[in-house]
Amino acid sequence: MVVNLDRLFTKRAKSLKASEIRELLKITRIPGMISLAGGLPNPEAFPVDVIHKCIEKVFKNHILSALQYGTTEGLPLLREVLALRMKSNKSINCVPHQLLITNGAQQGLSLIGYTFLEPGDTYISTAPTYLGALQAFSAFEANCEAIPLTGDGIDIDALRRNIERLLRTEVIPKFIYTVPTFQNPAGVTISLKHRKELLDVASEYDLLIIEDDPYGELIFEGKPVPPIKSLDTKDRVIYLSTFSKILAPGFRLGWTIASEEIINKFVLRKQSSDLCTNVFSQYVAYEYISGGYLDKQIEKIKKLYKGKRDIMLKALKQYLPKEAKYTIPKGGMFLWVTLPKRVNTRIMFQKAVANKVAYVVGDAFYPEGGHYNSMRLNFSYSSDKDIVEGIRRLSEVIKEELARTTEQESLLAQGV
Amino acid sequence: MVVNLDRLFTKRAKSLKASEIRELLKITRIPGMISLAGGLPNPEAFPVDVIHKCIEKVFKNHILSALQYGTTEGLPLLREVLALRMKSNKSINCVPHQLLITNGAQQGLSLIGYTFLEPGDTYISTAPTYLGALQAFSAFEANCEAIPLTGDGIDIDALRRNIERLLRTEVIPKFIYTVPTFQNPAGVTISLKHRKELLDVASEYDLLIIEDDPYGELIFEGKPVPPIKSLDTKDRVIYLSTFSKILAPGFRLGWTIASEEIINKFVLRKQSSDLCTNVFSQYVAYEYISGGYLDKQIEKIKKLYKGKRDIMLKALKQYLPKEAKYTIPKGGMFLWVTLPKRVNTRIMFQKAVANKVAYVVGDAFYPEGGHYNSMRLNFSYSSDKDIVEGIRRLSEVIKEELARTTEQESLLAQGV
């Protein structure tokens, strides 16, 4: 007899589905394709020599500890320098015991899912939103209520209405998830005013806020908006960040800041899920921060990405038809294009691929789908030349699609 | 209002408890303490120079890929060399697609829990058993049925009786978990005959077997017993192993071998839980295997640990009272001491600590508790001198405890 797996898989495992976006991204490997679809940091900016130096320091100073098991909470040295940096750079008050080192910020999201989401539970997310968070939370069979992002903030009235509606049906939303700064996917930043209002609403209904902040350091212009966590005096905010965008994603290092009570739960869960985070890499990150390399590196990345953003914005201005709107992110790695409602970027995708350019369809970032007239573009990864050529190709496809759909509409209007 | 977490935590998160053993291990940090309690590889055996060479190769050949995000499944180069090694060294037939790189073998256990265990589900484990597995599975609110290990195997009749009893109450046990080779905690190895019988029983009832094999390479004497996975023609066995004992635990690298259908589920779950395993470390491991360093290193570790086992066995023979029995492991890192039933190693623990020696109480390794007259001793970590002195101190405590309990018993027999 062969194993009958269907009898053995859990309900949650059965409902796991391959990410459609991941399948789409495979297309981007076709030779000649210019992909504005991915979300990768630019390897040009990886501080290879600095990492090499830091590794030499690890060999010199800590190698036997770096190769041994470590504590689940994370390397004490690293937790300390990170807690100090959070205070000095982000005005986030935290002691090392409130800071957990994770296997990328994604593990923090997964720990949140494990700790707060029962099957059928509901959480709230601003939308569009980070796909990986949707996956981390839906892995625990939870439902998402989406709150629209507006130009510089959240539709607070919609948030309040949504919570009230949920409470009337005796559903307590577990938390509000948001990427408030240079957001993936739309590149927008929630204003200070809206951050305060968000915290007020969370306080009023006694909810947690999950502040996912992978891009906050990558600011190109203007004054940084304080993290929601820095405004939080009641341990209401769980804050996540990562070394993936300021050192290298290959080291899989992130951190989560929360009250000790919550961190303790995360530690217990992390222990059974992987014992501890890669110790060697934690020492490298410690040498990287304590050696004073981080700030210089952030400047280097910002310069590179700002240049690429400007190139993309210039190309969009030059090539994109006037009917298309786009966000102008002040930092991060992404911007968001909105086309007239009659265009479906999902239908248009095959044509774009045929014209050797790829993007991510906008509806993927909405928990409830829809918004088919939008798309995400990444400006961090491609070469300057490819960004210009990519936008030119994309604009061609958009123009054709606008013309085709106009014709279709006028035919429909004529009753044809 | 301050956050009312009790209202927000999941049931599973509420039931997470700090590992008592972890607390016990804190005691072992007292100065002067000889700890035979831990389960750490000996850092003396870490191949520091070889790792340094491998890292230089990574910088020379793969650095930009090593610092970037990688695929969830694991580095293709590493999956390939591991699949080849599994075939040549373990007679396990697998293609790279059936092999998933994990963040330590512990993550493999956690993926199994997520994929197969609903709240209230039952699995079977040989007992005593690895604590981390109990934690990984109980994190998903499952129940464990324990099957006793006998000298060189499993009590197959008890296994069969247990399964029949479960099926009568309409409980389908999801899998049978076992560490068949140089087991943690008891150091015993299941014979080939019993491995075959275990596979027969699993086949008869169409169950999965989880074969956890972190110690299989660390064989001191005799012929290696084939892994259960090598006898498996029906994809019934999920096999786990790790670099923690043959390279360095600090890199957090393990692997899981199973049918593609199961690996696909694990990949989907892993993606939402941490995107991918540390890519840099995967390249280091790849260079380590493909550079031909692994076999030499295994010989070095075996020599070191065999020496330490022999020293511990000699000390046990010299100091331990005759009433105490112990296993003679042919590999691995642990052995198991059984005292007369009237001795409770948990009560004795405080006395041992006072005498500056520590062990792990045996009942911790039994899902159902009990077996208070047993303990686990680790021989891989301590210095040769400390092993001898540790066993001497421990034997003192055991002798006192035997005398005290004999006196108590004879008083009881006299009706005092």
Q: What is the mean pLDDT of residues A114-140?
A: 96
Chain A environment of B172 (Cβ under 8 Å): 7-8
Q: How far does chain A reach from its first CA to its final CA, in angstroms?
A: 60
Residue ranges of chain B that CATH labels 3.90.1150.10: 13-46+298-403
DSSP string over B343-366 = --HHHHHHHHHHTTEE-EEGGGG-
Q: Calculate the average pLDDT of chain B.
A: 95
Residue B62 has pLDDT above 70, yes or no: yes
Q: Residue B27 has what pLDDT? A: 76
Confidence of residue A20 (pLDDT cuts 50, 70, 90): confident
**pLDDT (tens digit, 9 = 90+) per residue, B197-255?**
999 999 999 999 999 999 999 999 999 999 999 999 999 999 999 999 999 999 999 99
Minimal Cα–Cα distance from A400 to chain B, Å? 35
Percent above pLDDT 70 for chain A:
99
Looking at chain B, the whole-number percentage of residues with pLDDT higher than 90 is 90
Work out whether strand B122-127 and strand B175-178 pair parallel, antiparallel, or are unpaired: parallel
Interchain contact, B234 vs A2, CB within 8 Å:
yes
Question: What's residue B188's pLDDT?
Answer: 93
Of A3, A9, A18, the CB nearest to B235: A3
Residues ≥6 apart with Cβ < 8 Å to B260:
B97, B98
The tens digit of pLDDT for each residue in B12-43 reads 999 998 877 777 777 777 899 999 998 999 99
Q: pLDDT value at position A1? A: 54
Name the residue of chain B whose CA is nearest to A206's CA: B3
Calculate mean pLDDT across residues A147-165. Answer: 90
The pLDDT tens digits for A68-118 are 999 999 999 999 999 999 999 999 999 999 999 999 999 999 999 999 999
Q: Determine the pLDDT at residue B405.
A: 87
Does residue A406 register a pLDDT over 70?
A: yes
The answer regarding whether domain A48-293 maps to CATH 3.40.640.10 reads yes
Name the residue among B43, B117, B264 with its Cβ closest to that of A64. B43
- Interface probe with A: pick from B3, B71, B200, most Cβ of A within 10 Å: B3
pLDDT at B152: 74
Average pLDDT, chain A: 95
pLDDT at A416: 63
Q: Tell me what pLDDT residue B1 has.
A: 54
- Helix, coil or strand: residue B339: coil
pLDDT, position B414 = 75
Helix (H), strand (E), coil (C) string for chain A: CCCCHHHCCCHHHHCCCCCHHHHHHHHCCCCCCEECCCCCCCHHHCCHHHHHHHHHHHHHHCHHHHHCCCCCCCCHHHHHHHHHHHHHHHCCCCCHHHEEEECCHHHHHHHHHHHHCCCCCEEEEEECCCHHHHHHHHCCCCEEEEEEEECCEECHHHHHHHHHHHHHCCCCCCEEEECCCCCCCCCCCCCHHHHHHHHHHHHHCCCEEEEECCCCCCECCCCCCCCHHHHCCCCCEEEEEECCCCCCHHHCCEEEECCHHHHHHHHHHHHHHHCCCCHHHHHHHHHHHHCCCHHHHHHHHHHHHHHHHHHHHHHHHHHCCCCCEECCCCECCEEEEECCCCCCHHHHHHHHHHCCEECEEHHHHCCCCCCCCEEEEECCCCCHHHHHHHHHHHHHHHHHHHHHHHHHHHHHHCCC
Chain A residues within an 8 Å CB radius of B5: 261-262
In the predicted model, what is the mean pLDDT of residues B91-95? 97
Residue ranges, comma separated, of all CATH 3.40.640.10 domains in chain B are: 48-292
Res. A46: pLDDT tops 70:
yes
A67 vs B52: CB contact, 8 Å cut-off?
no
Does residue A365 surpass a pLDDT of 70?
yes
Which of B173-177, B198-202, B403-407 is predicted least confidently? B403-407
Among candidates B59, B68, B276 on the partner chain, residue whose Cβ is nearest the Cβ of A52:
B59
Q: Is the pLDDT of residue A313 over 70?
A: yes
Per-residue pLDDT, averaged over B338-345, amounts to 96
Q: Looking at residue B107, what DSSP letter applies? A: H
Q: How many CB atoms lie within 10 A of CB B169?
A: 7
pLDDT in tens, B329-339: 999 999 999 99
Architecture of domain A10-39+296-401: Alpha-Beta Complex (3.90)
Average pLDDT of the segment spanning B50-71: 97
Tokens of residue A138, six digits: 């839906």
Query: Which residues on B lie below 8 Å from A268 (Cβ)?
Result: 16-18
pLDDT tens digit string along B118-140? Answer: 999 999 999 999 999 999 999 99
* pLDDT tens figures, A203-226: 999 999 999 999 999 999 999 999
Check CB contact under 8 Å for A279 and B68: no
Could you tell me which CATH class the domain B48-292 is placed in?
A: alpha beta
Residue intervals in chain A for CATH 3.40.640.10:
48-293
Domain with CATH 3.90.1150.10 in chain A: 10-39+296-401
Residue A2: the pLDDT is 65
pLDDT, one tens digit per residue, over B291-302 is: 999 999 999 999
Nearest alpha carbon to residue B308 among B249, B374, B364, B390? B390
Average pLDDT over residues B262-273: 97
Shortest CA distance from B4: residue in chain A: A206
Query: Is pLDDT at A343 greater than 70 in this prediction?
Result: yes
What is the nearest CA distance from A299 to chain B, expressed in angstroms? Answer: 19
Question: Options 3.90.1150.10, 3.30.420.40, 3.50.50.60, 2.30.30.180; which CATH number does B13-46+298-403 get?
Answer: 3.90.1150.10
Task: Out of A7, A235, A280, name the one closest to residue B251 (CB).
Answer: A280
